[in-house]
Amino acid sequence: MELENSTVTEFILLGLTQSQEIQLLVFVLIFSFYMVILPGNLLIIITIRSDPALTAPLYFFLGNLAFLDASYSFIVAPKMLVDFLYEKKTISYQGCITQLFFLHFLGVGEMFLLVVMAFDRYIAICQPLRYAVIMNRQVCYALLLALWIGGFTHSIVQVALIVRLPFCGPNQLDNFFCDVPQIIKLACTDTFVVELLMVSNSGLLTLLCFLGLLTSYAVILFRVRGSSSEGKSKALSTCTTHVIIVFLMFGPAIFIYTRPFRTFPADKVVALFHTVIFPLLNPVIYTLRNQEVKSSMKKLVNRQVLCGVE
């Protein structure tokens, strides 16, 4: 695919807001949040990798979720923070396409990972005796490979549709990063068919995954309704955590990608939470409700503190 077909060599990002005071406030809040939560995600990854007790598929997928979310946060947040310091915010055409590619590659990869985690919980709760056989290490790696391939395929389709469009006029993107809804508005041609393809590729996929996940957790809760109070409580706690993440991940994505590409006042705020805030929060929410991971993290931190003292 040739990226040089376009006469536009760079895009001007209009940013999150034009108010310098609000920009400064958002910069401080996002930077502080980033510096606190990102190390937490890295600690989750290190803890799961280093603790032999955390080898179950649940922790394997949780570690990959933390890795995906940490990687996803690097796509938008660093440039957004740097752009807050400059009056004119620009991104090259190639840089814009690259950002769009990784945004959808990792974003859809995470959506598929949440589907895999729902499948894992279904087997663990509804078929506990067969869990070790079904969710063996080979199956876990195969599912992980499948979600990476799925994310890559989806993203390539998005990029292929964008790079075929001619850009010869306005180059101002009304956002703080590059994404399909904003880029497609600047094309010097009729984009009706492309918009339909984009909505089908992103919006429909997101909606189907969301409905499938809600259905799966409803089935799990229905299956455990006759279990002991302890088993029911554990299943309810697990499902509640997963459903919270599902809404945080899919709510903004559905708002952005399942409607025609028109501008709404809440677009930038929703995009901020979708690309910066929620991805970093997801693994933390999982961890705070998982006693095994919390206990292992405390032991790891205490060992490092003792080593530092000695």
Task: Give residue limits of the domains in the chain.
Answer: 10-298
Cα gap 232→223, rounded to integer Å: 10
Mean pLDDT of 205-234: 81
Q: What is the mean pLDDT of residues 235-258?
A: 84
> 229 versus 87: which is more confidently predicted?
87
Helix (H) or strand (E) holding 201: none
Predicted confidence band at 154 (pLDDT cuts at 50, 70, 90)?
A: very high
- What residues form DSSP beta bridges with 13? 173
**Is the pLDDT at 308 greater than 60, yes or no?**
no
Q: What is the mean pLDDT of the chain?
A: 85
Q: What is the mean pLDDT of residues 279-290?
A: 78
The answer, yes or no, to whether residue 288 has pLDDT greater than 50, is yes
User: Which neighbouring-strand residues pair with 172?
Assistant: 12
What pLDDT does residue 307 have?
64
Residue 37 is predicted with a pLDDT of: 82
Q: Which of 165-179, 184-198, 233-247 has the lowest mean pLDDT?
A: 233-247
Q: Please tell me which of 35-44, 119-128, 234-243 the model is most confident about, judged by mean pLDDT.
A: 119-128
Contact 253, 275 (CB under 8 A): no
Does domain 10-298 fall into CATH 1.20.1070.10? yes
Give the residue among 196, 206, 201, 185 at the shortest CA–CA distance from 252: 206
Q: How confident is the model at residue 1 (pLDDT cuts 50, 70, 90)?
A: very low
Neighbours of 205 (CB within 10 A): 19
Note the pLDDT of residue 60.
92
- CA pair distance 214, 87, nearest whole angstrom: 44
Model's pTM, two decimal places? 0.88
pLDDT tens digit sequence for 97-107: 999 999 999 99
